[in-house]
Amino acid sequence: MDNIGSFVNIQKHSLYFNGCGGCDGNCCNGAKGFAIAPLILEDFKEVYKNFKIVFGLNENQVGAYVVLNDGKSHCKYYKDSRCSIYEQRTPACKLYPISPYFESILVDTECPSINREFGEPICIGKQLNQKFYTDRLNNFNEKLLKTYEFYNSINDANYFEQIGDISGLPIFKYTKKSSNPYIQMHLESLKN
Ligand code: SF4
Ligand code: SF4
């Protein structure tokens, strides 16, 4: 795995992170960064009280996403140029500009702080610099496979109702009666 869009493999590019000073929270702004972020199962409990969890159907494969903003402006928690829920920000926010993809660790070169000369090295000796590490990365490939097991167990378009779209991407609610804890957190989150 070399790259996905602006995300490049940390082992194949010598990159540095030079802090967030001077950036107007691009990664918190749907107009410049992301409106949604994919979830793994352990993320659900971290986000459902503060953010909506929705499903997307991409090429007949269901997946869950946290809605960070409306795709046009900043996250509602971005206040006075900072995150007002810093300790409770989403696991994806805690890692950004790093993002895992199966066994690869990627870095987003769209983050204006990523450069080839200044600041903290992203990768040291082919490993992610520990300063950027969070627990989400522990056994990430295994966690992702378990997440897909869950998605496959509910992967039937008849169970989903479209509730809107974000940046042109249709988003869905799960409608089949279920006591599954992840479905319960999804439904509870839609009250946000
Ligand atoms: S991580 Fe990057 S995009 Fe996000 S606020 Fe810092 S410099 Fe800006
Ligand atoms: S939770 Fe905080 S860090 Fe994450 S997008 Fe919102 S304001 Fe930015």
Q: For the segment 127-168, what is each residue's pLDDT rounded down to a tens digit?
A: 999 999 999 999 999 999 999 999 999 999 999 999 999 989
93 lines ligand 2 (CB under 6 A): yes
Q: pTM to 2 decimals? A: 0.94
Ligand sitting nearest the alpha carbon of 98: 1
Q: Which domain covers residue 154, as residue numbers?
A: 3-189
156: CA distance to ligand 2 center in Å?
A: 32
pLDDT at 2: 77
Number of domains in the chain: 1
Write the CB contacts of 39 (distance below 8 Å, at least 6 apart in sequence): 47, 53, 64, 65, 66, 147
- Using pLDDT thresholds of 50, 70 and 90, give the confidence band for residue 11: very high
* Residue 117, H or E segment: none
pLDDT recorded at residue 192: 83
Tokens 């439904």, residue? Answer: 187
pLDDT at res. 186: 98
When pLDDT is averaged across residues 179-185 and rounded to a whole number, the result is 98
Distance 50 CA to ligand 2 centre (A): 11
Query: What is the rounded CA–CA span in Å between residue 128 and residue 181?
Result: 33
CA of 137 to the centre of ligand 1 (A): 20
User: From the CA atom positions of the chain, what is the Rg in Å?
Assistant: 17
Residue with tokens 């999804």: 186
Q: What pLDDT does 172 receive?
A: 98
> What is the mean predicted confidence (pLDDT) over 93-115?
96
Please write the tens of the pLDDT for every residue from 16-28: 999 999 899 999 9
65 contact partners, CB below 8 Å, separation of at least 6: 36, 37, 38, 39, 53, 54, 55, 56, 171
Find the 24 Cα to ligand 2 centroid distance in Å: 12
Confidence check: pLDDT of 33 > 90: no
Q: Is the CB of 95 under 6 A from ligand 2?
A: no
